Structure 1
Amino acid sequence: MLGDSRGSVEVAPESAPSPGYAASDAQRWVAEPGKKSYRTPFERDRARVLHSSALRRLGAKTQVVSPGTDDFVRTRLTHSLEVAQVGREIGRALGCDPDVVDTACLAHDLGHPPFGHNGESALNELADGIGGFEGNAQTLRLLTRLEPKVLDAQGNSVGLNLSRASLDAASKYPWLAQDAPIIHGHRTGKFGVYADDAPVFDWLRQGAPEGRSCIEAQVMDLADDISYSVHDVEDAIVAGHVRLDMLDDAETRERVIGYTRQWYLPHTEAAEVAEALARLEASQVWVRGSDGSRAWMAALKNMTSQLIGRFCQSALDMTRAIYGPDPLTRYAADVVVPQETIVEIAVMKGLATTFVMTTENRQPIYQRQAEILHELVQALEQTGERHLEPMFAADWRAAADDAGRLRAAIDQVASLTDGSALSLHHELTR
C-alpha cells in the first residue's frame, strides 16, 4: 500500500506552471529531480497520459455500442479524445491551464472496465465486500499505482506520478464511498477513491475544500456530458437505431421524456423536459430524416458541432456573467450551467438511452456480459496468480489477505479490453 510519508516533495526543475497556479500545484507525489525540460509540468502530465497503455486500451473498450460492430461508432478512446478537445477549449476560455484540463479529459475514462457501464456494475457487485468498484476510483488507482511509469524509493509503483493539479482535475468525485454526499435524500453511489488509495488522495487534495471539485475537474465533467450526449445520438442515428422524425409519434416522444427523467432528471417535471426537447427540435440544425447521402451526413455533423457549441457557449456565458473576465483556476470559481442547458443535455442522453441502451435486444447481451465478468473473476480467484499478468500477480503475492487478492484480480479484469476479456474467459472456462 502507498505510504503517506511522501507529502513533503519538491517541485521538479521543469518550466514554471502557468499563471494562476502555485508551485504546490505542480508538485508530484514522488519528486523527480533532474527532469529539466522545455515543457511545463502540466505539458508533461498530458504526455504521460497520452502515451499510457491504459489510454491505448480504451480503443477496444465499449462506449455505448461494442467496438467492432460498426466502423463508425465511438470507442472509449475516440470519446476521450473528443472530450479532451471540448474540455481544452472550455478550459482555455475560462483561463484554466489547457493541459491540466486536457490531461483530466484524456484520463477520465481510464478506469472503466470491459463492456462499459454494464461491466462497471458487474465488478461493483463482485467487489461489494472490499469497498466496491467505481470507474472514477479505478482511474485514480490507475494513475497513482497501476500504470507503470515511476517508482518510489522503496520500489513501489506510484503510477504516472502526475502533478497535484492534474490529479485533482481528474477527480470527478473527490470523496471516499463512505463520505459520498446525500442528494435528494439518498447517498450517491459515486465516489472517486478506494480506502487503500486514501494516502495519495489526501496528498493531492491538500488545501482543497472538502467535497468540492476544482474548476478544471468541473470543465472535464461538463465536456464529458456534452460530448457523449451529442455523440451517442449521432452514433445511434448513423447506426440506424433512430431517426429524429420518430419523435413525431406521441408514444415515442413520451418514452424519451420518461427515460430522460428516470435516468438523468428524476426531480424534474415532465413539462420542463418536453420544453427542452421542443427547443432542440426548433433549432435550424436539427436533422429529422435519414438518407445516408453525403449531404445528409454533412448536415448531421453540423448538428453535432452546433449543439456542442450551443451547450459550451451557454455555460461560458453564465460562468463569466457571475465571475467576470479574469482567469479562473483551481478553486477560484465554479462552472455554472444554465438550467435550460442542463435539461437539453439530459434530453440528448435520453434519446440514446431510449433507442440504444434500453432496447429489448440489448438486454440478453448485457446479461451475458455481466455473467462473463462474474465467471472470469471467480476463475481468477480459484486459480490464484497463475493466470494473472505479471504485474497483477505480484500484487496478488504482496496482498495481506483475501480482500487484497480479490482486488488484484479485479484490477486485472478491469484493465482488459472487451475482446481480451472474452478471450481470457474462454481460456479459463472451456
Structure 2
Amino acid sequence: MSGPPPDAGPDAQRRVAEPAKDTGQGRSPYERDRARVLHSAAFRRLAAKTQVHTAGTDDFLRTRLTHSLEVAQIAREMGARLGCDPDVVDVAGLAHDLGHPPFGHNGEAALDLLASPCGGFEGNAQTLRVLTRLEAKVLAPDGSSAGLNLTRASLDAVGKYPWPRRPGQRKFGVYADDADVFGWIRAGAPPGDRRCLEAQVMDWADDVAYSVHDVEDGIHGGYVSLRPLLADADERAALCADVAATYSGESLAALGEVLVDLLADPVLAPLAGYDGSHRAQAALKATTSVLTGRFVSAAVAATEERYGPGPHRRYAADLVVPRPVRARCALLKGIALRYVMRRPGSRDRYERQRQILAELVATLVARAPDALDPVFAPLWRAAPDDAARLRVVVDQVASLTDPAAMAWHGRLVTRGAPPIGAPTS
C-alpha cells in the first residue's frame, strides 16, 4: 500500500503561508526543510552538547551534533529502502535532538524537576518548541515567531512521542501551551497516538546509532570491556536487570538468552584487546558497521514481510522490528549505561551539573528579563503569568551548550556580575 506523492497536499503545507520561491534550484518542500534545520542556530549548538561523554573531553567521541548526523544518515537510507521520502526522514534525524539541554539526559531530568510549575521539561517536547517557536526564521502575520515553519510531514516525522504529558508517563512530545501547533501537525493523522512511519524510522535509527556508537565510544575511551560479561554470570544478570529497568520490556530470562548469543557473535571479537591503533580502530569501525547494517536490514525485511514491498510512507505502514533484534539493541544500550554513564565518579559529576542548572534557573528567574538574551527577554515580558515566565527561563537555559551553561553560571551565580550580551553558544 503506497501513500500520496511525497510533496502533495496537506503533507507539504506550512503553518504560516510563505511566498513561492523561484531560485532555479527546483527543490522540494522537504529539501527546503532539511536546509532550514542544517542552517539553524539550534543545530549548530549541538556540537557542544553532551551525547554520553561530556562534550569537548575527547575529539574522537560523539556529541549531539555528530550523533544527529549519524541518525539522519541511518534514517535516510532505511526510509528510502521502505519508500519514505528520504528528505523527510533525514529532517527527522537531524532535528530530533534540537531540544536537548546542556548535560544530556542528566540535564533533561534536572530541568524537568525545575520546570514542574509550568508543566515539566522533556527533550522531545522542547524540540517541537524549538522548531515551531524558538528558532528564528519565519514570522507569523501577528509578528510572533513561527520557528523554522517546516512542513507538516517533517514536523510529524520529528514527533517520537506525539502526545501531551500524562500521569506516570515519563516521555511526551508537546507542552500544553504548544497544543495549537501540535493539533495542526496532527491534522489528518489517525486517531490516537500512532506515529507516522517516518517518525518510527527515525526512532529506530536513533536507537541503533545510540546503542552501537556509544559502545564504540566507550571501548575507545577505555570504559567498556566485554571481559567481565564473558567471565561472570552475575555480571551478565546485573546488566540484564539494568536493561529491563531502563530500555526493554523483555523478561530477564529472555534478555539473558539474547545476551549469551550476542557475546558469542564473532562480529564482537574485535572489541576485545582494543589498543587504539589504526588496525584496532579499523576493526572496531567494521564491527559498528556490521551491527548497524544488521539492525537496519532486519527492520526493513520484517516491515516488507508484513506490508509488502511498498513504497510505504506516512500512515501506510508501521515499522516492524523483530523482538530479538530490539533486545540486542537494548543490551548494547545497557552496556553504555552500565560502564560509561555509571562509571566511577559519574555521580558527583551529575550532581554538580544538576546544581549548576538549578542555580542558573533560580538566578535567571530572579533577574529576568535583564539577564536573558535579547531573543528571550521580550517573550518573558509578554508572558501572562509566573508559569509562563518560568517556561521562558527554562527555554533560555535549555538553549545553552554545556560550556555556555557553565560560563553563564560562573558569571551570574559565582561572580554575580551583570550579563554583557552573552551568546547562547
Normalised by the shorter chain, which TM-score bucket?
Answer: over 0.9
Per the alignment, residue 301 of structure 2 pairs with 317
Per the alignment, residue 142 of structure 1 pairs with 130
Does the CA contact (< 8 Å) of 1:285 and 1:299 recur in 2?
no
Does the CA contact (< 8 Å) of 1:20 and 1:327 recur in 2?
no
Per the alignment, residue 18 of structure 2 pairs with 32
Per the alignment, residue 188 of structure 2 pairs with 207
Of 176, 188, 193, which aligns to 1:195? 176
CA deviation map 1:197-247 (0-9, x unaligned): 111110110011221110000000000000000000000000000122332
Question: Cα offset for 1:396?
Answer: 0.5
Per the alignment, residue 423 of structure 2 pairs with none
Task: Specify the code of the residue in structure 1 equivalent to 2:382.
Answer: A
Of 186, 205, 215, which aligns to 1:233? 215
RMSD: 1.4
Question: Cα offset for 1:21?
Answer: 5.2
Question: Cα offset for 1:191?
Answer: 0.8
* TM-score with structure 2 setting the length: 0.93
**C-alpha distance in structure 1 between counterparts of 2:30 and 2:47, whole Å:** 24
* TM-score with structure 1 setting the length: 0.92
Task: Specify the code of the residue in structure 2 equivalent to 1:100.
Answer: V
Per the alignment, residue 343 of structure 2 pairs with 359
Does the CA contact (< 8 Å) of 2:230 and 2:263 recur in 1?
no
Task: Specify the code of the residue in structure 2 equivalent to 1:354.
Answer: R
**C-alpha distance in structure 2 between counterparts of 1:289 and 1:273, whole Å:** 25
Task: Specify the code of the residue in structure 2 equivalent to 1:296.
Answer: A
Question: Cα offset for 1:189?
Answer: 1.6
Per the alignment, residue 413 of structure 1 pairs with 397
The answer to whether residue 111 in structure 2 is matched with residue 130 in structure 1 is: no
The answer to whether residue 5 in structure 2 is matched with residue 19 in structure 1 is: yes
**C-alpha distance in structure 2 between counterparts of 1:36 and 1:217, whole Å:** 30
**C-alpha distance in structure 1 between counterparts of 2:374 and 2:277, whole Å:** 50
Q: What is the correspondence of 1:144-183 to structure 2 with a 5 Å cutoff?
A: 144-178=132-166
Does the CA contact (< 8 Å) of 1:86 and 1:223 recur in 2?
yes
**C-alpha distance in structure 1 between counterparts of 2:382 and 2:216, whole Å:** 46
Moved over 4 A (4+): none
Per the alignment, residue 295 of structure 1 pairs with 279
**C-alpha distance in structure 2 between counterparts of 1:376 and 1:311, whole Å:** 41
Task: Specify the code of the residue in structure 1 equivalent to 2:243.
Answer: T
Q: Could you say what secondary structure the match of 2:345 adopts? A: helix
Per the alignment, residue 49 of structure 2 pairs with 61
Per the alignment, residue 37 of structure 2 pairs with 49
Does the CA contact (< 8 Å) of 1:18 and 1:97 recur in 2?
no
Task: Specify the code of the residue in structure 2 equivalent to 1:249.
Answer: A
Per the alignment, residue 339 of structure 1 pairs with 323
Question: Cα offset for 1:36?
Answer: 2.9
Per the alignment, residue 389 of structure 1 pairs with 373
% same residue: 57
Does the CA contact (< 8 Å) of 2:82 and 2:300 recur in 1?
yes
Per the alignment, residue 109 of structure 1 pairs with 97
**C-alpha distance in structure 1 between counterparts of 2:58 and 2:277, whole Å:** 18
Task: Specify the code of the residue in structure 2 equivalent to 1:268.
Answer: E
The answer to whether residue 338 in structure 2 is matched with residue 350 in structure 1 is: no
Q: Which runs of 5+ in 1 are unaligned?
A: 1-16, 181-186
**C-alpha distance in structure 2 between counterparts of 1:407 and 1:390, whole Å:** 16
CA deviation map 1:223-281 (0-9, x unaligned): 0000000000000000000122332231332322221122112x422221122122222
**C-alpha distance in structure 2 between counterparts of 1:408 and 1:269, whole Å:** 42
Does the CA contact (< 8 Å) of 2:30 and 2:154 recur in 1?
yes
Question: Cα offset for 1:411?
Answer: 0.2
**C-alpha distance in structure 2 between counterparts of 1:248 and 1:207, whole Å:** 50
Question: Cα offset for 1:397?
Answer: 0.7
Per the alignment, residue 87 of structure 2 pairs with 99
**C-alpha distance in structure 2 between counterparts of 1:380 and 1:27, whole Å:** 37
CA deviation map 1:147-193 (0-9, x unaligned): 00000111110000000000000011111113x7xxxxxx4221111
Question: Cα offset for 1:64?
Answer: 0.4
**C-alpha distance in structure 1 between counterparts of 2:285 and 2:13, whole Å:** 41
Q: Could you say what secondary structure the match of 2:50 adopts? A: coil
**C-alpha distance in structure 2 between counterparts of 1:261 and 1:146, whole Å:** 36
Q: Could you say what secondary structure the match of 1:92 adopts? A: helix
The answer to whether residue 106 in structure 2 is matched with residue 118 in structure 1 is: yes
Task: Specify the code of the residue in structure 1 equivalent to 2:209.
Answer: S
Of 262, 284, 287, which aligns to 2:245? 262
**C-alpha distance in structure 1 between counterparts of 2:17 and 2:7, whole Å:** 18
Task: Specify the code of the residue in structure 1 equivalent to 2:37.
Answer: V
